[in-house]
Structures are given as C-alpha cells and as structure tokens.
Chains A and B, each alone.
Chain A
Amino acid sequence: MAKILVVDDESSIRFLYSQELAEEGHEVLTAATALEASEILQAQPVELLVLDIKLKNESGLDLLQKLVKERHNLPVILCTAFSCYRDDFSAWLADGYVVKSSDLQELKDEIKRVLAKRSR
C-alpha cells in the first residue's frame, strides 16, 4: 500500500477520498491548495498524487508541470469533473486521468494500475 496525497479544494471530496482510500489500505494525506501540497511534499515522501485540475484560484495543471519539473519521479493521477482535459496536452504529463464520480471504483483501479507500473 502507498502514501497518497489528495489535492482538492472541496473539503467534502478530500474527506470522502481519504475515507475510501484509507479503507483500501493507503495512507492518505490531503491538501486544499498547491502551496499546501508543496509543503507536504517537501516534508515527507509521497508515492502518489491525486490532483484536481480545477483548484480554487489556481490550476492543477500548473502544479502538475511544476511537480514534474521538480520531482519527475512522482506519479500523478488527474481527477477532474471535466472529461475534456484529456485533450489538453499538458494533462498528458500525468500518469493517469479519472473523471470525478461518486463511484470511486475507477479512481481506485487507476491508482492500482499506476502504482503497479511504478513498482515494475
């Protein structure tokens, strides 16, 4: 199991994801902003990032680019309400892409896939 950082500006989403992913056996950290996320990443090693594209005042894609630059080994799964970001090529830097849904099964499967690829 892995240490996962969930970045989303909606607290209820953070709460839901941490509950669900913890139940899967992951250690879940959450951040509401890019800054918070950066601080956490500096403070401790994280194995996977679940990133919302539309953060309150910033774009998850910008954070993604920054993270890739600084820590290019960190796998990222984009998780967004919009399916259209699939066509945005800055989103292609992410390792996975999931459209937000109340059914978290897709997200869970994607996490499994990305982690499996990493460990190979």
Chain B
Amino acid sequence: MQERYNLLSTVVKLANSATLSYPARLKSLARFFAESFQLVAVTIYILDRENRFLVQKIPSAGPDNFLDCLIPLGDGVAGRCAKQRALLQAGKDQLHDHEFRDGRESQLQAIPIADQSRVCGVITLGLMEGTVCSAAQLDLLQDMLPAVAGLIRDMEVAERSSRRVDNLTILSELGKVLNKAEPPRSHLSRILQTCHKHSAASCTVVRLLPDRGLPAGLFKKCRTKTRLQLSTLLELEADASARVQTTGISILVTDLIADEDIPPSYLCVPLRFEAKMLGSVTFFGKLGAKGRCQNFDEEDRELFDSMAMLVSNALAGSATYQQMVQFAAENDKKVKELSLLYRISNTMLSTINLNKLTHLTLTALTAGANPFFERAMLFLINEKTAVMQGMLGVTRETAAGKALLDGEWGEISLIPWDMSEEEMARQRDAEFSRMVRETRLPLDKTCNVSSKAVLEKRLVYVADVEREKRVDREFVRRFAVQSFAAAPLMAKQQVVGVLVVDNSLSGKAITPEDLRFLQLFTNQAGMAIENSMLYSRIEDAHLDLREAQEQIIQGERLAAIGEMAASIAHELKNPLVSIGGFAKRLEKKIPADLPEHKYAGTIVREVTRLEKMLSEVLSFSKKATICYMDCDISGIIEDSLAVVSSSLEESGIRVSKSIAPEKLQIHGDCQQLKQVFINLFFNAQEAMKSGGVLQVTVAPATLGQRKALAVKVSDSGGGIPLEILNNIFNPFFTTKASGTGLGLAIVHRIITNHGGKIEINNRPGIGAEFTVTLPLHP
C-alpha cells in the first residue's frame, strides 16, 4: 500500500513538475513507468484533437522532445488501442511503421490514456519474450494514467493558449501593416505577404472584385513546392470564392484527396465591408512540422475570419482614402478651371479689341506652371477659298510670364489680366507663331480632320496621328504633332475659327478633362469674339447713322431753300405775267420800225425766259398728289359707309353688304378710292330720299387679261331718267340743287386714273346699279 502510494505520488510530482517542459515530464513519466514495472520500453502517443491520428510520440528511451508520427486510428498497436479505447495486447509484428521499436520487445501492451470525456493518447509497454504484465500491475498503471491524461490535457491547453497568443500577435502584426498609409497596390502586396507568412499556408490567394475602388484581380503568393499545382489551386479558389461571395460565410475544406499532390486542406474567407463584398482570401495547405501539409482547423478559420475583417476594413478605408484623394485632385482641378474661366470671361468680356482677344485666348491655354496645353494655334476660316488660315501660335515659352492663376485667388480675381502691345508683338514674332501664319489647311474633311471641327461644329480629338488617315501630313510634319485636339470657335452660330492644341513638347496625354475644359473655354472665347464683332458692327452702324444724319440735315437745308425758292417764284410769277403781258401789248401797238418796238420785244423775250425758269422751279417744289399703296378694298368700303351712315339712316335706307371672303387688295390711292364710294353712296342716298335698300357687293373679277375686283353699288331709287343718263359723267353736269357738286365726274376721273372703268346698269322704275371694276395692279 505504501509502495503504491509512493509510486502514485512520484507520478503526480513528475506530472506537475514546474521545472520540466511538457515533453520532458512525459518522458520522465515514461521512463519512471519502464523502471517501476521492469519494462523494455514505454512509449506515450498523443492523439490529435480530431481523434484521427496519433501525431506525437515520446519513448522512454530517447531525447526530451516529441517525435512526430502519423498513425491512423485503427492502425498498428497504439492506433488500434486508441480506436477501441480498450487495453490491447499484440505482437511486435503488428506495430505500425511510425510506432516506436526498442528491438528487445516481443509483445506490446497498449492502454488508452483517457480522462472523463475523451481518449487523448495511448501508452504502449514493451514486454520481453516470456514476460507479461500482471493484472495488478496493469491496474496500478491504469490508476496512474489520469495524471498522464491531465498532463496531456494541460499541454493541450497550454498549446492552445500559446496559439491564441500567436494568433493575437499575428493580428496585431497585420494591424500594424494595415495601418501604414500606402497606395492600394503596394499596400495590398504587403497585406498579402503578412497573411501568407502568418497563416502558414503554402499558397495564399487574394481576390478583389472590380468596381470597389480597389485594384481588382487575383494576387497570390506561393511556396515553391505548390507552384506546380497553381492552376488547380486557382480553379479551387475560383469556385470557393464564388461560393463565399454568395453566402458571406467562410469555407473550410479538409482531407482533400486528388490525383495531384495538392494540399489536403484550404480555407476561403470573405472580404467584406459592411454589406459590400470586396473579395476573398483563400489559404491552401497549412504547413506543419517538417514541411508536411496538414488540415486547417476551426481555430484557423477563426483567425482567418478575424484577419479578413481587419483586411477588409483596411482595404475599404484605403479605397475611401483613394477616392478622397481623387476627389480632392478633381476639386483642385475644377477650382482651377473655374477660376481660370472666371478670369478669362472677365477679361474677355471687357476686351473689345479682337486682336488682343486672340492673344489672350491662346495664352490662357498655355500659360502658367501647369498649363492645360503646351501649344495652341488659331486658324481662321476663309469660306470663299475653303482654307483654314493660320493666324497665331502660342507655346509655353511665348506664353511664359502671363500666368492666369499665379498668386492668391482673392488677389488675382481683382487684378485685370491684360497684355501689352509689346507682349503681343513678341508672341506674334516668335518662330512658332510665324510657322503657324505660314500654314494653310484645306477645309476638307477627307484630307484634314481638323476641318471637321468647322464643318460639324464640334470638338475633334486625334489621339494618334499615325492611326488617323485624314490628317494633313504636311501639318503633322511641320509641327511634329503626335496627338492633338481641334475646337471650333463659334460666334453668332457660325464657326469663325479653330483652336488647335497639343502637348507635343512633352508628349503628355490629353485627358478627357482637358478636352472638356477646351470646349468650355472655346465657348467662352467664341462669345467674346462675337461681342467684339458686334461691337465693331455697332461702331460701323454708328458711323453710317452719323452719315445719314448729315445727309438728312443737308436734305432739310435743301428743302428749306426749295420752299423759299417756291414762294419767291410764286411771288415773282404774277408781276412777271403783268410785265410780259403789257410788254407784249406794247410790242403789238408800237410800229415795228420804231426802236421802242424792239425794246418791248426784248422785255417779252426776257420775261418768257424768266417764266420758263420759274415754272421749272415751281413744278419741282410741289409733290405729287396721288399716292399709291396697297389698299384693302373691304376696309375702304367700310370706311366709306361709315362716312355716309348717318345720312343713310336719316333717309331710312337699309344697307345690304356682300363682300367676298378673300382679302382683296388693290394698288391705288386709298383716299381717292374712298372718295369714289362716298360719292356713289351719296348719289344712291340722293335717289332714295324716301328710303330703300343700298346694296354693296364686292367680288373678284377680270379686266381684259388682268386680275381685278368689281364693286357693285345699287339703289332702289327708281333709276336714272333717260334724258340725263348720257350726261352723268360729264364734269359740268349736275341735276342737284345742293351737294358738293363733285359727283360722278370725279368718280369717273379717279377710276380712269386707276386704270378701271365704271358702268351703269339702269333699270327705270326700279333702280340704278353702278359697277366699278378696278384692276388689282393699275
């Protein structure tokens, strides 16, 4: 009993030794068992956590550390024992290759090491030929084994906690890497490296999805051995990644069996930020001791999930940062563009001189530390000769010193941007500008693509002159152009010129933003040019007006002189008539042989001469009294009726009108024509003193071959007495005791003057009908 107690207490002491490592303690225990029970060899095997293999062994004879082994459960002696969880005795020939052999044993006794919950290992006892373990011995040994189980358990716990610490270290390492602000691409390679190193994977693949603000694609890191199977691994990766992206849950695959020598296990974890899937990381084949691949386990999954979370956050942050940087850059550029446009528009709208305007335009495009373009040329359009004529060229050099945006914004917005005559002359005389002036490009799309800008009124960009067939080769050669843009300058909806810009000095690419700015800029410049053109047109118009005004003044003076001459002439006429008349009488009375006869004759001749002169003056000064214009006949009839309406009413006369719906216009004197109808209406009224119907109809008609209109005016006044019918158009004839007396004679005269005719249809006892036919164009 005492002995049993001593043994047990030694076992407990050994198992709990504070100074020995776990392997050393197990080794001491094995050796203690061997010595205590006179055994050839005692070996302790440790079962993996998945209860699949015995993975470590420590024999009583040997070094103080574990020896790796891989004994499947059910194989060999220890394996079978672990699987059956029961005592087992077997011959040495049944030993697995990985099991320890002392050489002296013939039989082996295996006992499972277990605590309450599980088997955690196996202990084998080597028995020499002819020896056996007694039941008492086995019993005692089994009593001691819980201490061993405790030790293994402790070891596992320690191992696990050290792994936890390792994992935390890995995460903290990764955190450090992730915290470095770097461009996404190099950041990514560092992340990959860190993950690969700490995961102990033989191959790590990071897949980033497109359109997440990150460099999309596959990023991989492999150990040399695995590279041969890379294509197979990538196939597995693609499949796993796709699944992970849909489910959002990591995948752990173990014990993969394939024809190729691929790692038996892989772990794919999603990379996601909030609800957004960014990609995945796949780890292949965990490298164990001695370079052997082993399965990843749940703990690895936990670690990798955490790593993926960190990486996702970092990548999302990096993408956001990148976006911010980009926005800031874009903002800067926009502010610059806007400032530039603001200043340019201020400058241009206040610059009226067209020449200066063109200089400022080209300079604005090329000036400053960071100009939009390196060269700018202006071509003006000559539509008659169908050419684009070079006018001015400005380069960075010739624009130097005229930067639009140097200095503080507040400052420059206040200072007007201007150019002196000397500066313009310098630009004009520069070699480049001279070359531009000597250039003429055909206005033809088929051989000069820039003319598209003119003909189609839009910006044209040629990325590579070598690939564009329709480029003027001479232009390309002369200016060593590689890529260029041509923008139309529009003024009043019309293309007046073309701005051609390029970066041929440095070969810098023209970006879409540059083109957009060019478009904005040329619109602005076009407006300014339009303004300038309008201004010069206003100036011209102003000059014309002044000339016209002077002519009017001159004309008025002449007219005043003419009026005066006319009134003088009139005053002179009467005395001259008397003088001449009496001189004539004298000439008649005085005998021809007397000299006085001759004197009188002289007076007569001279007066006749003067009279001739005067009549010329008088006929010149008086305007014609007939005034032809387009008259609307229905308007004339209405106006005429309005004049006579009260008289018609008084006499109880009803008016019946029938006027053709179409608008009938006649070329004539409205006032005279009105007089015609007033007279006819009064005439009718005169004939219908005791009431009746005045009928007026207007209809299209013809007069000979000409288009005409006919107005019929009929009354119900009983008709015209036959005895006076022949005389009614006679100007000296009237039957009336009252009235103006102008009557039908005037009607007749006016109508004749208008090339028309008047007819009477007299119906005695009923009434008279006058038909006035007037040609539309006399």
Contacts and interface: CB of A to CB of B under 8 A. Distances in A.
Contacts of A72: 734, 741
Contacts of A75: 732
Contacts, number: 93
B519 interface: no
Interface stretch (B72-80, B575-583, B659-667): B575-583
A12 B578 CA distance: 6
Interface string A30-52: 00000000000000000000000
Interface in A2-17: 10, 12-13, 15-16
A34 B30 CA distance: 171
Contacts of B420: none
A101 B618 contact: no
Interface stretch (B408-416, B464-472, B607-615): B607-615
B326 to A, nearest CB: 88
B495 to A, nearest CB: 57
B447 to A, nearest CB: 69
A16 B575 CA distance: 11
Interface string A94-112: 0100011111100000000
A88 B626 CA distance: 9
Contact of B740 (A13, A19, A65): A65
Nearest to A69: B741
B6 interface: no
Interface stretch (B139-147, B338-346, B479-487, B744-752): B744-752
B585 A92 contact: no
Given A69-B739, A72-B741, A102 B576 contact: yes
B733 to A, nearest CB: 8
A15 B570 CA distance: 19
Given A87-B625, A89-B675, A101-B611, A81 B580 contact: no
A90 interface: yes
A20 B741 contact: no
Contacts of A104: 581, 584
Interface in B186-235: none
A107 B164 CA distance: 146
Contacts of A13: 574, 577-578, 581
A102 B618 contact: no
Interface string A55-81: 000000000010011001001000001
A29 interface: no
A102 B624 contact: no
B584 A103 contact: yes
Given A16-B582, A81-B574, A92 B746 contact: yes
A116 interface: no
A46 to B, nearest CB: 16
B725 interface: no
B384 interface: no
B625 A81 contact: no
B738 interface: yes
Contacts of B385: none
Interface in B549-589: 570, 573-585
Which of B570, B578, B746 counts the most chain A CB atoms within 10 A? B578
B746 A102 contact: no
A96 to B, nearest CB: 10
B619 interface: yes
A20 B585 CA distance: 8
Interface string B703-743: 00000000000000000000000000001101000111110
A84 B577 CA distance: 18
A92 B672 CA distance: 14
Contact of A92 (B574, B578, B583, B745): B745
Given A89-B746, A103-B608, 8 more contacts: A10-B578, A89-B672, A92-B745, A95-B731, A101-B577, A101-B611, A102-B578, A102-B608
Q: Which 6 A-B pairs have the closest CB atoms?
A: A102-B580, A12-B578, A81-B573, A16-B581, A87-B625, A68-B741
Interface of B: 570, 573-585, 604, 607-608, 611, 615, 618-619, 622, 624-626, 672, 675, 731-732, 734, 738-742, 745-746, 749-750
25 contacts: A12-B575, A13-B578, A19-B585, A54-B570, A65-B741, A72-B741, A81-B570, A82-B570, A82-B622, A84-B625, A87-B624, A87-B625, A87-B626, A89-B750, A92-B745, A93-B741, A93-B742, A93-B745, A99-B615, A100-B573, A102-B576, A102-B578, A102-B581, A102-B584, A102-B608
